[in-house]
Structure 1
C-alpha cells in the first residue's frame, strides 16, 4: 500500500510508504523432518505508546498446556509431534541411554529473518525445557524417576500411572547430557514417546523493522547421538525445524493542513522594512506544520523541480534564474539515526545518499511536526535585483520506509 500526499513551499510533499506482505510459499518438506511454526506479532498500541516488543502468538501446547501448575509465569511450550518407539527403560545396567536420558543443545542459536524486500533482522532462540511423555506396558507400576539427575538439568513435577509417565526437565544454556535412573524394578520397552519443547525467543526492535512478515528458521538434528537425543530408540523424524514468522503491522500517517498546501516565503515581520525603508530582509522563511503518526523508521528525501547545486530552488520565470531554498524538518519524539540527535531542524537534501533516517522513541500519535523552507541572504539578494519578479518551484518531500 502506498500513501501519497503532496505539499510545497510552492512545494509539493508526498509520502509513499511501501506496506509489504510476505506470502509464505509452501515447499516440500524433507523426508523424516518435522517443522513447527513459531509466530509473534507487533502492532502499535494507543494504550501503551512505549510498546516496542513482539508478542508471542504461538498456541500453547505440550507440557505447560497440560500442567500449568508445574510451569513458571512466562514459560511456554509447544508439542513437537515427534515420537520414539522401541525405547528400552532399564532400572539396572550401566548404559545411561537406557535410563531417563536427555542430550540437547540448549545454546542460543542466531536466526536471520527476512521479509519480501529481503530486509534482514536478527533474532535468537534457545531450548530451555524439554517435556516428555512415555507410554509403557500397564502392569500397575509407575516407571517414575529415581534419585537425582546428573548433567545440570532441573526437574519439574512428574505425572504417571502404570501405563504412562510425563515429566519435563529445564535445560541450561549449554550442550548438556542429563540422566536419571528409573525405579529399580523397571525393565521394559516404552511403547511411544511424545515430547514438547519450551523455548526462549529474543526478537529485534520492531520499530526499526519494515512492515510485513519476516521469516527464518533454525534446525536441530534429532535421534541417537544428535542435537536432541532422548535415548536409544527408533525416532519418527531425524530433524526438527523451528520456523519463525514475525509479523509487523506498523501505523503510519502524515496529515497536512491541505491536500496541496502552498508555502509563501516572507521575511520575519513582513515586507514593511523593505517597502518603507528599502532595508533588505536577511532571509525569507515559511514553516509548514503537519501531523505525524508512526511506529516505524523512515527516511525523508527531496525531489526538486528546479535544482540549485546541492539544494532545491525556486525560479524566476522571466529571466530563468534559480536561487536555492533550504528545507529542514522537526519531528518531536524522533531521533536522527545518522548522529543520534533529536530530529530538530534536520536538513533535507535531494541527494538520497544524504537523506536522514529517523526512528521514533515509541508510538507517536498525531505528533505536531514542521517542515521549514528558507531562502538565505544570497538568494534574497538575487531576488531583490528584479523588483516585482515572481519566483516559484515545486519541491516534493518523500517519506520513505524502505532503507
Structure 2
C-alpha cells in the first residue's frame, strides 16, 4: 500500500549584530543526499533525501513511449503555502520550488550483461543509446557529479523549468528501480521583521504518481502517494533598551539652568530634559507610558509640601531614522500617553544599540504656579515607559 512521506523544513531568524543589514531566515534543515555530499555543486539549492522508491511494473523496451520508459516530471515552479503562528494564528507566506532531483537506478542485471559491452562505463552508455545517463533532455541538465557500478547508476538532474525529462532505452531492461528520491529545493521566506516572535508552522503537499505533481510515468511507479513538506519557522526577535547610568532619574530644569531665576528672578519658559537611550530592535513594537499620578495626556507631578497634584509632564520619543511609524514616517518627538495604543514603530532593518531620546517637558503655562519667589517647592512623580513587542 502506498504511504505518505513527511519531511520537516526548519528555518530560524535571529538578529545578527555583526550583519544588521541581513534580515533573512537561515535554513537549519540537516542536508542529506546529493546536496549534502556535493553542496557546492548543488548551490543555490538545499537538498534532502526522501525514502520514496520507484519500481517498474513491466520491462522497459527500445522505442517505448516516455511514459512507459524512464522519465521524470517534477514541480519546478514556485508554489506558496501559509505558515501560521502557533499561538496567535498570525499568517505569513512561504514559497518553495523543486529545482533538482536525483536517485540511483538499479537494473535487473548488470549493464554489461544487458548490452554485451566490455566494461561498466561503456555498458551504461550503450544502454541509453550511446550517451551516459548524465545527458538528459531539456528542461533538465545533469549535475557535475555521478557514479556507477555494474548494475547501478547514481545521478542528480537540475530541473531548470517545468517539463518532462526522459531517457530512451536502446536495450530491453526487464526490471528497474529508483532506490530513493533526492530533492533539491529553493525557498522564498517572508520578511522576519514583519513577523512576531514565535513558531510558525504550515505544510506543502506534493502528490506522487502518474499524472501527479511528482510524475515518473506509467511504468516506474512509487511506493508513496504523497510527499509532505512540514515547515517550521522560528522567529527570535530582539527588543532591548539600555539607559546610561543614572538615566532612570530625570531632573527637569530650565534652558541654561537655574541661574536666570536665582539671579534675576526671571521665571523659566519651561522645564525639560532629554534622556538618551540605546535601543536594539528587530521587529515592530508599541510604546506607551504608565503614570504614578495620572494627568490629561501626560503624567502629573506631586508637590511634596502641599501634596497637591497638578503640573503635567508631557512625554515624547525620537527614534533612530531606521525605525519609522506605521505610516513609514520618521519618529521625531512622537507624543506618548497612557493610551497611545497607536504608537507602533517598525524597524526597516535590525537596529543594534542605536540612540534614541525620551523628551520630558513641563509646559510654560504651569510655570507661574510651580515657581514662586522665596518659595521652595519640590515636585516628583514616577513615569514608566513601556516598550511592548506584543503588537
The bucket for the TM-score relative to the shorter chain is: 0.7 to 0.9
> 3-state DSSP class of the match of 2:53?
strand
The aligned counterpart of 2:299 is: 312
Unaligned runs of 5+ in 2: 113-123
1:85 aligns with 2:71: no
Change in CA separation of 1:356 and 1:347 when aligned onto 2, cut-off 3 Å: farther
Cα pair 2:278 2:355 within 8 Å, conserved: yes
Change in CA separation of 1:298 and 1:83 when aligned onto 2, cut-off 3 Å: same
How far the C-alpha of 1:36 sits from its partner, in A, is 0.7
Q: Distance in 1 between matches of 2:59 and 2:369?
A: 94
1:57 aligns with 2:28: yes
Change in CA separation of 1:296 and 1:285 when aligned onto 2, cut-off 3 Å: same
Q: Distance in 2 between matches of 1:202 and 1:254?
A: 32
Q: Give the alignment's TM-score, normalised by structure 2.
A: 0.82
Which of the pair has more CA radius of gyration? 2
Q: Distance in 1 between matches of 2:67 and 2:148?
A: 21
How far the C-alpha of 1:258 sits from its partner, in A, is 4.8
Kindly provide the CA deviation profile for residues 346-402 of structure 1, in whole angstroms up to 9, marking residues without a partner as x. 3323224322313153341x3343212111223334534795444332221111111
Q: What are the equivalent positions in structure 2 for 1:2-401 lying under 5 Å apart?
A: 32-67=3-38, 71-88=41-58, 90-118=60-88, 119-141=90-112, 142=124, 145-146=128-129, 152-156=139-143, 158-172=146-160, 176-232=162-218, 233-258=220-245, 261-316=248-303, 318=306, 320-332=308-320, 334-359=322-347, 361-364=349-352, 366-384=353-371, 388-401=376-389
Q: Distance in 2 between matches of 1:111 and 1:191?
A: 32
Unaligned runs of 5+ in 1: 1-30
Change in CA separation of 1:299 and 1:131 when aligned onto 2, cut-off 3 Å: same
Change in CA separation of 1:302 and 1:229 when aligned onto 2, cut-off 3 Å: same
Q: Distance in 1 between matches of 2:59 and 2:284?
A: 56
Q: Distance in 2 between matches of 1:85 and 1:338?
A: 57
Change in CA separation of 1:275 and 1:213 when aligned onto 2, cut-off 3 Å: same
Q: Distance in 1 between matches of 2:178 and 2:72?
A: 16
Change in CA separation of 1:321 and 1:252 when aligned onto 2, cut-off 3 Å: closer
> 3-state DSSP class of the match of 2:111?
coil
Change in CA separation of 1:360 and 1:326 when aligned onto 2, cut-off 3 Å: farther
> 3-state DSSP class of the match of 2:370?
helix
**CA RMSD, 1 decimal:** 2.9
Q: Distance in 1 between matches of 2:207 and 2:264?
A: 86
Q: Which segment drifts farther, 300-309 or 254-263?
A: 254-263
How far the C-alpha of 1:252 sits from its partner, in A, is 3.9
How far the C-alpha of 1:94 sits from its partner, in A, is 4.5
> 3-state DSSP class of the match of 1:134?
strand
| Equivalences, count | 369
Q: Give the alignment's TM-score, normalised by structure 1.
A: 0.80
